[in-house]
Every structure is written in structure tokens, then in C-alpha cells.
Amino acid sequence: MPASQARSRARDRNNVLNRAEFLSLNQPLKGNQESRSSSRKQSSQAGAGGAQNSGPKERRQSQQLPEEDCMQLNPSFKGIAFNSLLAIDICMSKRLGVCANRASSWGGARSMINLLGITGHGIPWIAGTLICLVKSSTLAGQEVLMNLLLALLMDIMIVAGLQKLAKRKGPYDINPGLLDYLTMDTYAFPAGHASRVAMLSKFFLNHLVLAIPLRILLVLWALCVGLSRVMIGRHHITDVLSGFVFGYLQFRLVELIWMSSNTCQMLISIW
């Protein structure tokens, strides 16, 4: 027995893994196990205590969070369709904004496009209507010009109110001009130029005797002015289309409240 014990001790001494520096490879230290188990117990106790101390409102919120996440991840069909149309509108408007700045593909034509947009601005039309009204000597002409002035003022107020409500910005970060600030046309939706040219073209087609080529040119002018607002980067495509719709509705409103010749003469005499 003593000889066998001596041999086993010699074997243990010669084994490299029994050295002190290699003991951690054979078995984990008891201190580490105890510290890990104690930290686990403390964390589980803290979680249980927090769950007990949490009020009913917090529990409701924690139960609602997964449902809210599911609602965000699974939107309704209307939401998907609206977001898709909005993304298409923004993408197409940016592609058509070829004159948004000097570095754009059609940057050299920016001045000409700006000039085309001025033809649909409210200030030149109001000034021109007032000048024609002063120089007009016929009752029929004064009646048409007074109602045209009413339509222009109504257009500025309606578009300014709608833009203040929507507060939609254009596809490009372009500051409005001085004339835009005068007519309060500072936002994108709806396009003020588009509503104005639609209202004016419909007004002239109904109340002026024009040849067919002039009627076609009038419609083309309205379409070109609306397109110029997209090309210059001030409005989206839907802003221009909605402007055309609002312009037509404004024309119908002016037709409903059309001022007679006597009313126009009374207003001119007061003025």
C-alpha cells in the first residue's frame, strides 16, 4: 500500500494540469460560481419586486406596446395606398424639377420658366384689372371686370387660408419670392398659380367671345403655368392638380354670387 500511494503521488506531481496555474481549466472557482448565482438571484428578486411595485397603468402600457408595434408593422390598406401615392408624388415631382436651381439639367431655362410663372401671378392680374376698370366706359365691361376682380381677391384669400391649414412644403427647399409673400403664397398645397390660371381661363372662356385658336391657347397657357411650378421646384404634381380643381370651384362660386350691373355701378361710385 505505501508503495502504491507513493507512485500515485509521483504521478500527480508529474501531471502538468495539476499545477496551480492550470487548476482553473479543470474546475471553475467556487467564488465565481457563488457570485454569479447571487447576481442572478438579486436580478430575479429585483424584477419580481419591480413587477409587484408597478402600478396598473404601467402594466397596461407594457401590454399595449406589442399591439402598437403590430399596428405599425401591419398598417391598414388605406395607409399603405396613401403612403405609396405620396412617395410616387414626391419622386415624380423631384424628377420634373429640372429648373429647381442653376445646377439642374435645365438650369439655363430657369429665367424663362420664372417669367412664365409670373404671367399667372395674382398681383399683375389685379393691377391689370384695376387699370382696365378705370379705363372702361361700358356697363357690360365694368360688370365683367368687377366680377373678375372679386374672383381674383377671393382666389388669393382662399388659397392663402388652405395653405396655412396644410403647411405643406415643396419638393425642393426654395424660398418664395417677393410677389409670393405679397399674395401669401408661401406654402406648396394647393398651388396658387394653378388655381388662378384655371379660374381665369374658365372665366374668359365663359364671358369673352374668343376664336377657337385663342381658346386653345388659353387652355395651353393654363397647363404650361401649372407645369412651370413643378419644373421650378415650388410645388408637387398633386399641388398643381389640386390647384386646378380649386380654381374651377372658385369659378363656380363666382358664378353663383355674380354681381349685377347695378351693384357694380354702386361699388364703382363708392370707390
SS3 227: helix
Q: Distance between CA atoms of 232 and 236, rounded to whole angstroms? A: 10
Active site members: 193, 235
For residue 210, how many other CB atoms are within 10 A of its CB? 12
Task: Kindly report whether the peptide bond that precedes residue 190 is cis, defined as omega within 30 degrees of 0.
Answer: yes
Measure CA 101 to chain center.
20
SS3 97: coil
Residue 217 and residue 225 in contact, taking contact as beta carbons nearer than 8 Å: no
Taken in order 192, 198, 199, 201, the sign of the CA dihedral is: positive
Cell matching residue 157: 384669400
Residue 154 and residue 254 in contact, taking contact as beta carbons nearer than 8 Å: yes
SS3 82: helix
Q: Dihedral (C-alpha) 195, 196, 201, 206: value to the nearest 10 degrees?
A: 90
Cell matching residue 55: 402600478
What residue type is assigned to position 59 of the chain?
R
